[in-house]
Each structure stands twice: as C-alpha cells, then as structure tokens.
Chain A
Amino acid sequence: MISDSSMPYSAPTLAPGADDDQLLHVSLGPQHPSTHGVFRMNVVLDGETVVSLKPVFGYLHRNHEKIAEGVTYLSSMPYTDRLDYICPLSNNWAYAHAVEKLAGIEVPERAEYMRVILAELTRLINHTAFMGFILGDMGAWGSALMYAFRERELILDLFEDLTGARMMANFMRFGGCRNDLPAGWAEKCSVLVDDYGPFLDEMEKFLVGNEILLARCQDVGQLPKETLINGGITGPMLRAAGVNYDIRKAEPYGIYERFSFRIPLGDKGDCYDRIMIRFLEMRESLKILRQALDQLPEGEYVNPKAKIRGFKPPVGEAYARIEGPKGELGFHLISDGTVNPYRYRVRPPSFINLTLLEDMCLGLDLADVVIILGSIDIVLGEVDR
C-alpha cells in the first residue's frame, strides 16, 4: 500500500524479480460491471497486486468533433448533451460560451443567472450521483445509489419542467437560453435547495463515518501535487490534492464574481479526499444557488439580436472554458465564416483526468483499482466522444 506521498509515483512496470509466468493478465472490461461504461483496463496482476495497467478506450467513440464540423453551430448543441450525459447543462454552457466568445454575442442578465442556477444544479446532480456510484464500486449493494438517484430525480424533474427533457436538455442558445423559466419554477427550485441540506446530512451520516469506507479509501490513489498539475488534472481531483484551482475563481466567467462562495481544498489527494471535496462542493453549490435564486432579475432570457437560422460567426478562433462538475471543460472553435465550424475541439475533463490512472493504481490491489477509477468520476461519453 502506498501510504507515503514521497514514494515515486511511477513504479516500474514489472516488480523486480517478478517472473512473468507467475503474473495474471486480466482484461477488466469492456463488459466489466464497474468500469462506468465500456472502458477496458488491461491489468497485469501479481497475486492481487497491480503490476501494470493499460487503459483501453474508444468503444464509445461517436465522432463527435467531426460531426460538429459538418453541421451548423446550433446543431452541435444537442450533441454536447451527450458528451457527459450526467451533466448536459454544463456542456451546453461551455459550448454556448465558446460560440459567444467567437461571435461576440452579449448575454442578458437574466440568462446569466439562469445559467448559473442550471450549472450549479448540474453540479449537485453529478456529485450526488457520484456518491452513489463510488459506493457501488466499493460493493455497497445499491442503497446509496438509490438514495442519490431519488434526489437526482427531483432535480431532473426541474430540468424537465424547464427544458422539456430530463437529461438531454439542449437548452442554452448563443446569447441566452432557449426559453424563459416557467411560472413557479424558481419557487420550486428554492424549495429543492432548502431540502437538499438534510439529504446531504443523511448521506454524510451514512457514508463519512463508515469505518469500512475510511479503510478502503484513505491513502489509496494518491499522487504528488506536481504530477497532477503536470498531468493536466483539473476539477475535484486536483483540489483534493490541495491545489487551489477552480475556473470559477481563477478565470471567472458568466457572473460568478457576484456570488460569495468558497473552494474546498483537500490535503492528501486520496480517494477519501476526493469524496469529501465533492461533499463540500455540494454545500457551496447550495450557497450559490440560494444567492442566485434570491437575486434573479426580470428581463430578456435571450439576446434578441442573436440569430437562430443562418447563424454565421465571423472568421476567427476562440477557446472558452468553464468549471464543469468533473473539471475544466473547454471548447475550441475555429470559424471560417461559414455556417459550419472549421474546427471543433473539446477539452474533456474526464478524459484528461483518466490519463494518470496507471500511476495511481500501481502497487495497489485489484479492489483499489475499481475505487480509484470511480473516484476519478469518468463518463465514457466524454472520454471517447
């Protein structure tokens, strides 16, 4: 067990003196129950200790970027829903943000508030579902997952009221949102925000003090800060290791400067810290939501000058990023002045966070691999695109 952070993060692929005949080559996935989708790891085991681990992905490749280059700017919006299908509205925002930057479209005040509310609700959804998934990976028989999904369902109902779809929202437009909040939506949302605290308390009681969870997650999957920074890791995984990097603070977009909230930072960066950071982030999200709902102004929900049909941004290039629930989510667009983007590129947080998987797993148990993979919080729709 790696318990000391001074230990080299990259052990040799085969332990010295290990005889290859004694090693077990196991293909975990793509139809393994806890690889979070169609993901595969070629693992070499010495007993149950991981000697080498090679991630294999691409089973869910859907040609997202190339399709986007062949269709209009607006037509890519529903495809972004399907990147990280747990949190479609953050993806929508990131893409809309990039196009707005490219075409220089102003976003009205009310739309900005709506976007913040939706993005923070999405963060709640993602982290709540994460709690269920990680417990499932640890072998708890679905109880946490069911509790988490019950609460997630309430938020999805709100999304359905607003966007017409529970998951595939397709809601953000260049210069605002597709439609205004329906009557009574904001009140329903603030009731949900008030009720979410007790649920988090119950979840925390259920999980955080659990000695089995402590034993399983603490000192598992640590990496030094420098490695994480060099690897381009972002999001809760990076903050769990104590690096203060949150795009909402580092490069504020939208109207995030107007809200007071804090960024929770961990210390060790093991799986337990990753779980706890997400817990604390949910509580901060609730704070943002409360403020945003209180301040929500009246006005336009979409910039009236923004075009829907025949939208052609000027020739140029833009990269925009937001703090998605899983990390930095960026869209890079190059426009040649036609209705289609010339180049469309996604910077997916799950994919880049996954790159250090082998370094985290070497020398640990097979059972730890599953937890580490769960604590990275990947969605294969985003990894493979």
Chain B
Amino acid sequence: MKTGKPTRWVLPGLGLFQGLAVTGKNMVQSFYKKERMTTVQYPEERAPISPNFRNFPFLVYDKDPKAGLRCTACSICEKECPPQCIYIVLDRDENGKSLKRPKVFDIDLSVCMNCGICSEVCPFDSIYMDGEYELSTDDRFGGLLFGLDRLSKSAEYHMKLRPEQASEVMARRKADEEKKAAAAAAKLAKAKADAEAKKAEAEAKAAEGKGEDA
C-alpha cells in the first residue's frame, strides 16, 4: 500500500461522514421538497406529457370517417416504415379501378417503434403521431393490431392534440383546396369557353355547309 505526505490533515472517515450528510439531507428534504422526488404516483398522478410527445400513428379524416379519410393508399409510409409494421390494401371498384382510398390499413402496435417517419414522409397530411400512451391490452393478437376503425381520428382530434401543426396543415389544405377549386373553375371556364368556341365553329361550319349546299 502506497503512502504519501499529507498536505491537509483530516479526520479518518471524513468522506464517509460527508456521504452520510448527503443522504441524510436528501432524506429530510424528500419530505417537503417536491423537486427532490424522483417518482410520481402513476395512476392518480401523471407526469406532464409534452405537447410534442409522439407515440403511435393515427389517420386523419375530415368530417366523414369513411369518405373523408385523407389517405390515398399510396403506400409511401408502408415502404418507408423502418420495422415494416404498416399493411395497406388499395380499395378498388368492381372494374378494378383505384378508388384512391385504403381498403385495409393495419398497423401492428407490437412492431411499431413510434419513430414518426410515416407521418414525416406522408405527402397527403394523412398520418400523424398520437400522444396516447396507455395502449396496453390483454389480447395480444387482436388487441395489438390496429385497423382502420381504431386508427381513424377526426381532424378536430388532431387540432386538439397538436393545435400548431394541425392549424398549419389546415391552412395549407385550405389554400390548396382554394387553388384547386380556382384551377377547377378555371378549367371549367376554359372547357366552357372551348365548348362554346367549338359550338360556334360547328355552327359556322354548318352555316358554311348550308351555304355550300345552297
């Protein structure tokens, strides 16, 4: 055992007493200082959840849960999902034409790792991350597989959950819609104009023909 020349003389076991002082202080303060405590009493008392907290994805619909679903079953999230927990089947009509909406949209809770990449890559503002965290179930097969019925949440829910994000999305969608409506109107007007022009042309032609005939 090596020894050295002490520069400062202390009582043997000083460090041990210091340790006792620290734990003693912690014990006494734990009775009246709330910020000392490490735990909360969970079911009665909950730690505050940050508004940014993300846990599990949900699908947004406007107004109608079925027709208003924003999802177009484009499968981008299915491809980007790191653990491949999303399963999408495109809904088609009897002629095999795409209806641009999902027939099946399943997310497996037991596989999902809550990364939020699906909501990041979605170009249709359709999938967002929920803050709900009490998702445990005693049915480990059905209870952990979330289908369309459990995934679909209204736009109002989104607005309540993340007001900032949702209002930004809403504004953008509204602008888009207006633009689209304007474009559609313009298109309609153009079509009308075109039709009119065609009609006029046809009439003119007809008149010409008549003239020729005559």
The reply, when asked whether chain A contacts chain B directly with Cβ atoms under 8 A, is: yes
- What 1/0 mask marks residues of chain B from 102 to 130 whose CB sits below 8 Å from any chain A CB? 00000000000111110011010000010
Complex Cα gap A213–B16 (Å): 10
Interface centre among B54, B76, B123 (most CB of A within 10 A): B54
Complex Cα gap A319–B38 (Å): 41
Q: Which residues of B contact A81 (CB under 8 A)?
A: 115
Answer whether residue B81 sits at the interface, using C-beta atoms and an 8 A cutoff: yes
Residue from the list A72, A82, A209 in contact with B18, Cβ < 8 A: A209
Q: Which residues of A contact B81 (CB under 8 A)?
A: 75
Tell me the A151-202 residues at the B interface (CB within 8 Å): 153, 157, 160-165, 168, 170, 178-179, 182, 202
Complex Cα gap A206–B24 (Å): 11
Q: Which residues of B contact A214 (CB under 8 A)?
A: 15
Complex Cα gap A288–B38 (Å): 27
Answer whether residue B163 sits at the interface, using C-beta atoms and an 8 A cutoff: no
> Which size bracket describes the interface of B in this complex?
20 to 34
Complex Cα gap A340–B189 (Å): 47
Q: Are B54 and A309 in contact (CB-based, < 8 A)?
A: no
Answer whether residue A76 sits at the interface, using C-beta atoms and an 8 A cutoff: yes
Tell me the A196-244 residues at the B interface (CB within 8 Å): 202, 205-214
Q: Are B38 and A308 in contact (CB-based, < 8 A)?
A: no
Q: Are A160 and B53 in contact (CB-based, < 8 A)?
A: yes
Complex Cα gap A153–B39 (Å): 10
Residue of A nearest to B115 (CB): A78
Complex Cα gap A160–B37 (Å): 20
Q: Are A211 and B117 in contact (CB-based, < 8 A)?
A: no
Known contacts A157-B50, A160-B53, A164-B50; is-contact A149 B38 (Cβ 8 Å): yes
Tell me the A1-27 residues at the B interface (CB within 8 Å): 3
Complex Cα gap A164–B120 (Å): 13
Complex Cα gap A165–B38 (Å): 19
Answer whether residue B68 sits at the interface, using C-beta atoms and an 8 A cutoff: no
Number of A-B contacts (CB under 8 A): 89
- What 1/0 mask marks residues of chain A from 310 to 327 whose CB sits below 8 Å from any chain B CB? 000000000000000000
Complex Cα gap A143–B115 (Å): 33
Known contacts A150-B38, A308-B120, A308-B121; is-contact A161 B52 (Cβ 8 Å): yes
Q: Which residues of B contact A213 (CB under 8 A)?
A: 15
Q: Are B129 and A164 in contact (CB-based, < 8 A)?
A: yes
From residue A78, how far is it (CB to closest CB) to chain B in Å? 4
Residue of B nearest to A68 (CB): B82
> Which size bracket describes the interface of A in this complex?
35 or more
Complex Cα gap A291–B19 (Å): 33
From residue A216, how far is it (CB to closest CB) to chain B in Å? 12
Answer whether residue A261 sits at the interface, using C-beta atoms and an 8 A cutoff: no
Q: Which residues of A contact B120 (CB under 8 A)?
A: 178, 308
Interface centre among A72, A150, A164, A182 (most CB of B within 10 A): A164
Tell me the B1-44 residues at the A interface (CB within 8 Å): 2, 13-16, 18-19, 21-23, 26, 36-38
Q: Which residues of A contact B36 (CB under 8 A)?
A: 150
Q: Are A212 and B80 in contact (CB-based, < 8 A)?
A: no
Residue from the list B38, B79, B123 in contact with A153, Cβ < 8 A: B38
Complex Cα gap A205–B120 (Å): 46
From residue A308, how far is it (CB to closest CB) to chain B in Å? 6
Answer whether residue A147 sits at the interface, using C-beta atoms and an 8 A cutoff: yes
Complex Cα gap A125–B121 (Å): 30
Residue from the list B26, B53, B82, B114 in contact with A75, Cβ < 8 A: B82
List 5 additional contacts besides A163-B52, A170-B117, A209-B18; criterion CB under 8 Å.
A72-B80, A150-B36, A150-B37, A209-B14, A210-B16
Chain A residues at the B interface, C-beta cutoff of 8 Å: 3, 71-72, 74-79, 81-82, 143, 146-147, 149-150, 153, 157, 160-165, 168, 170, 178-179, 182, 202, 205-214, 308-309
Q: 9 A–B contact pairs at CB < 8 A?
A: A153-B38, A168-B113, A168-B115, A170-B115, A206-B22, A207-B19, A210-B18, A211-B13, A309-B80
